[in-house]
Amino acid sequence: MIDFPYIRDLVQSTPTKIVMLVVDGLGGAPHPDTGKTELETANLPNLDRLAGESASGMTIPVAPGITPGSGPGHMALFGFDPVKYLMGRGVLEALGIGINLANGDIAARGNFCTVDASGRITDRRAGRIATEESVPLVEKLAGIQVPGVEMSVHPVKDHRFVLVLKGNNLGEAVSGTDPEKTGVVPLPASAVSSESRNTAEAVNVFVSRARDILRGQKKANMVVLRGFSRLPSLPSMAARYALKPAAIAAYPMYRGLAQMVGMEVLKTGATFADELATLEKHHSSHDFFFLHYKPADAAGEDGDFAAKVVSLESLDREIPRLLKLNPDVLVVAGDHSTPAMLGAHGWQPVPLLIRSKWTKGEGTGGFSERACRVGSLGTNPATSVMMLAMAHAGKLHKFGP
Amino acid sequence: MIDFPYIRDLVQSTPTKIVMLVVDGLGGAPHPDTGKTELETANLPNLDRLAGESASGMTIPVAPGITPGSGPGHMALFGFDPVKYLMGRGVLEALGIGINLANGDIAARGNFCTVDASGRITDRRAGRIATEESVPLVEKLAGIQVPGVEMSVHPVKDHRFVLVLKGNNLGEAVSGTDPEKTGVVPLPASAVSSESRNTAEAVNVFVSRARDILRGQKKANMVVLRGFSRLPSLPSMAARYALKPAAIAAYPMYRGLAQMVGMEVLKTGATFADELATLEKHHSSHDFFFLHYKPADAAGEDGDFAAKVVSLESLDREIPRLLKLNPDVLVVAGDHSTPAMLGAHGWQPVPLLIRSKWTKGEGTGGFSERACRVGSLGTNPATSVMMLAMAHAGKLHKFGP
């Protein structure tokens, strides 16, 4: 929907405020024993009441059957075509640990791995060495210098790290060095297009030095790199929607995503209560807030149905505090489903609520997949959510005479 | 969905099996006396139970309001954009009688017609002469030879036949000779683009010889031709989805369609029970099966509501045999609706069921248009069905980081 060709002619700045609460992994699937989803199992008096005074529907994050990663799931909710604006793994890993990538920087996901005496990979994750073991190794790698390129290496978790390259004449079209199987030697990085030749050369020098530095380590005696990527070139939400948008998210990855689309990232704490305090504090200074709630996804990824139910109930208890701010438009959406039954992100459509002064009479009996899918909004691509929110906020002119 | 740009990066081959049962003309419309559709009127204990453990929804075969022919209806279910990969009438007629078209062959639909002494058409279908009368005439036409082009003529039914042209420098951009009205003379075939000039000339020679041969016949004393077309160039389902797909269909047209998209066509008998026996026999050798059930469409086309109900009840009795094979993913879909009230293909959305280990709790109370349209899958383009089936089969990686 970001590509609706006349959008810039339709948007208008108004004093109305939109709060978009993104419940990560919101959608679920019925438990085979009960036939009820996580949302249907949870006791959600406040969300149910909210559904009663909201327009409701379902979103399809990318396309039917497609399971989105966190990147595409959020991009779609922010109104960006997640296929057109696909970001690389390196960028997402960098955002995930809070690295402030500049335009043009190249980020890659790195793994420590184990190779045998002949250089063949025997363990692609170096026995999943603990973070405490990998951090000192990352510090050693950080000393590697390659002429003409500014390199930095950042620990992630366990055997994972991020490599960032800054400099002129860099390109992201570099093939990964991870053969994604054992028993073979790591691949050389190679330039898929000519403007990435310098980058591939620098990467190969880095890898060669890393091998020398790590020689003698029992497990982490080599590295593999993949997902070379740059920040995608994105239109700013501020310009696109005539908004002053802000992001409130405890996790670095979501802050990074928000920054990428031009939101101001507000400093906040580690919990959702902290995020709400931040929202309260800054409520007057912006007209769009992206508020991120993580625990539902984490529980779903763990395959823990009961924990996902608990996480939704915890969220429910915070809803009254959110409603006290009485935003003109309150959106409750999810970036994708994470059914506990799957123990992973899923392809299932995701419930959606939009409350505004125009929705008082159109609610459903509760907040769940089953209730929302017969709601007044119908089932729409997730890229439609921003436009629906803008419409409810009175921020969109009529299209055509 | 075939055009989802990253699909080849997402698919993975797994041991899981998908069975797609296509009930031809599945969807219906309510009988004005009862307000119930054919599916709602039929007694379908097995399909209803299946719906209770499946995800359900509706498909839109081509676009809202568009009534699809058999070709587009099936192409969409196989994941091919039916507008982009439109096949011509000649090709479909040829497939329908089991002609093995090679790439590059041109097929046209032919009609015997009646012309008066001045050559003007008086009956575009030669009084719908019986097949027994038309077959000997087709044999006479089969003797026509045109230098440089290998021609063959094949009887279809009643006044209809198929003309196939093989050779070099042929093209399908040839206008039809059927003026589609009476009182005028047949049109000359003409080349719409220059590479079809030879073809148009050969066709005109054929028509002229046919006129000579048929002179003196009472009814079928002339022919008209239309729908000049070639097999469309299609990506193979095998490559596209990393599948080993097989087709089991009693009717030649559906076997031809399946072959066109790269399925292996399994030899089977004339009944659905034969098809099931074929499925049982080959169940271990493929991971995707297209299984075709024809009678529902035939009854709908006849405008016989009761017969369509009976055909659905017959299908229902075979469902337990299908379930015994316990495919990882069972899809029950339709290529289009054929409401008996219309007595023809219709534009109405079509019910869809997908059963997998992920759907145990999410079913609806029965299998019908009304039940499926509030099902968990929502209403989707029919081109989404393959992607949904692939997702349920665990054959799709996550999209994006």
The confidence band for B51, taking pLDDT boundaries of 50, 70 and 90, is: very high
Pick from B358, B380, B398: which is nearest to A29 by CB? B358
The answer to whether residues A16 and A62 belong to one domain is: yes
Task: Tell me the pLDDT of chain B averaged across its residues.
Answer: 95
Q: Which of B198, B229, B260 is the last residue of a domain?
A: B229
- In which band, very low, low, confident or very high, does the pLDDT at A96 lie, cut at 50, 70 and 90? confident
> Rounded CA gap, A355 and A341, in Å?
30
Strands A288-293 and A350-355: unpaired
Q: What is the pLDDT of residue A115?
A: 97
Residue B262 lies in a domain: yes
Report if residue B400 sits inside a domain. no
A1 within some domain: no
Percent of chain B with pLDDT strictly greater than 70: 100
Compute CA A12 distance to the chain's CA centroid, rounded to the nearest angstrom.
28
pLDDT at residue A294 is higher than 90: yes
Q: Is A281 helix (H, G, I), strand (E, B) or coil?
A: helix
pLDDT in tens, B268-297: 999 999 999 999 999 999 999 999 999 999
Residue A61 and residue A69 in contact, taking contact as beta carbons nearer than 8 Å: no
Range(s) of the domain holding residue B184 = 106-229
pLDDT at B93 over 80: yes
Q: Are residues B123 and B218 in the same domain?
A: yes
Residues B208 and B239 in one domain: no
How close A325 gets to chain B, by Cα (Å)? Answer: 33
Q: Please give the pLDDT value at position B1.
A: 47
> Which segment of A4-13, A323-332, B123-132 scores lowest on mean pLDDT?
A4-13
pLDDT of B233 higher than 90 = no
Interface contact flag, A87 B401, Cβ < 8 Å: yes
In tens, the pLDDT along A55-86 reads 999 999 999 999 999 999 999 999 999 999 98
Note whether residue B124 is domain-resident: yes
How confident is the model at residue B2, as a pLDDT?
52
Q: Are residues B115 and B225 in the same domain?
A: yes
How confident is residue A2, by pLDDT bands cut at 50, 70 and 90? low
Whether residue A260 sits in one domain with residue A218: no
Shared domain for B213 and B240, answered yes or no, is no
Asked whether residue A399 is domain-assigned, the answer is no
Inter-chain Cβ pairs, chain A and chain B, closer than 8 A = 99
pTM for this structure? 0.90
Q: Do B257 and B328 lie in a common domain? A: yes
Q: Report pLDDT for B234.
A: 87
Which among B201, B229, B257 is the end of a domain?
A: B229
Distances (CA, A) of A4 to A8, A82, A398: 9, 15, 13
Contacts of B360 in chain A (CB under 8 A): 30, 32
Whether A62 and A82 have beta carbons less than 8 Å apart is answered as yes
A1 pLDDT more than 50: no
Give yes or no: residues B83 and B191 share one domain.
no
Task: Report CB contact under 8 Å: A342, B361.
Answer: no
The closest of B335, B262, B261 to B293, measured between CA atoms, is B335
| pLDDT tens string B339-356 | 999 999 999 999 999 999
Give me A266's structure tokens. Answer: 């507000």
Q: Are residues A173 and A266 in the same domain?
A: no
Structure tokens at B326: 């316990």
Examine residue B174 and state whether it is found in any structural domain, yes or no. yes
Interface test with B, best of A93, A226, A347, A376 (most B CBs within 10 A): A347
Total domain count, chain A: 2
Are A72 and B380 a contacting pair at CB < 8 A? Answer: no
CB-CB contact of A264 with A286 (8 Å)? yes
* Pairwise CB contact (< 8 Å): B398 & A345: yes
pLDDT in tens, B136-154: 999 999 999 999 999 999 9
Using the 3D structure, point to which of A212, A229, A246 is the last residue of a domain: A229
| Inter-chain touch B400–A87, beta carbons under 8 Å | yes
User: Are residues B280 and B246 part of one domain?
Assistant: yes
Looking up residue B16, the CATH number of its domain turns out to be 3.40.720.10
Question: Could you read off the pLDDT of B315-346 as tens digits, one per residue?
Answer: 999 999 999 999 999 999 999 999 999 999 99
pLDDT at B306 over 90: yes
Residue A320 domain-assigned (yes or no): yes
Query: Do A140 and A54 belong to one domain?
Result: no
Residues A17, A389 contacting (CB under 8 angstroms): no
Q: What is the pLDDT of residue B8?
A: 86
* CA atoms of A213 and A221, how far apart (whole Å): 8
Q: Please report whether residue A39 resides in a domain.
A: yes
Is there a single domain that holds both residue A195 and residue A287? no
